[in-house]
Amino acid sequence: MVNIPVLKSITEANALLADALRATFARQDVLVLNIIASPGAGKTSLLERTIDMLDGELCLSVIEGDPTTSLDAERIVAAGVPAVQINTGGGCHLEARMIQAALEQVSVEDADVVIIENVGNLLCPTGWDLGEDAKVVVASLPEGDDKPLKYPMAFATAEAVVINKIDLEPYLPAKASVLRENALKVNPRLAVFEVSCLTGQGLDRWLDWMREQLAAKRGSST
């Protein structure tokens, strides 16, 4: 019985802090994306490709979330972008207070886009607002094209879905078209991108969407 009000108190406090973070990001004219995916779907690979293709055009900063290690943050720094690693110590999601603490270690004042790579999980992160402008789900074909039906909340709360590893489609029973169809059944408003982070196929449309989101935010703040 006592767990319910405690959890409600925690989530309400998180929401208040997330709103404060969102206001800060709005004042700084920075677009914030919260990337959610299962482990191994290709979140970090997508970020590496994005960093490389936007080099010299947009300034990015990255906040990495993992239970342990700094491996992903090291990959991002090696790609040439400032990053801070949050280790949750076994926690299954990031929270707004963690993002607030991370901002003390990585400057976003000069950034155009801040990307938060959440802990690998399609359940827990969906209910925790981090002050982002948009949630993006990365779903890879090897996971199966029924992912949106099994984890509908992740897709229902997202603004975009990146279907990764489409280069593997000839070798898998899963089909990108079916995954797309299932995602749109859950959320007809989704922007859906079919990509291969290995070959680069389809990434131009993903980058165009990012540019559009940034332009829309900066246009709405003027």
pLDDT value at residue 221: 59
Share of the chain above pLDDT 90, in %: 90
78: its two tokens: 């090696």
Enumerate the H helices of the chain as residue ranges. Answer: 3-27, 43-53, 71-78, 96-102, 147-150, 152-156, 176-186, 203-220
Residue 3's pLDDT band (cuts 50, 70, 90) = very low
Residue in the block written with tokens 């827990």: 124
pLDDT at 5 over 60: no
- 8 A C-beta contact, residue 130 and residue 162: no
More confident residue, 151 or 1: 151
Q: Where are the domains of the chain?
A: 3-220
pLDDT greater than 50 at residue 127:
yes
* 11: confidence class by pLDDT, cuts 50, 70, 90: confident
Phi and psi at 112, nearest 5°, equal: -90, -40
**Residue 133 near residue 28, CB atoms below 8 Å:** no
For the chain, first and last CA: distance in Å?
A: 48
- Region 42-55: what's the mean pLDDT? 98
Instruction: Tell me the pLDDT tens digit for each residue of 129-142.
Output: 999 999 999 999 99
Neighbours of 204 (CB within 10 A): 12
State CA 196 to chain mean position distance: 17
Domain 3-220 = CATH 2.40.50.140: no
Tens digits of per-residue pLDDT, 58-117? 999 999 999 999 999 999 999 999 999 999 999 999 999 999 999 999 888 889 999 999
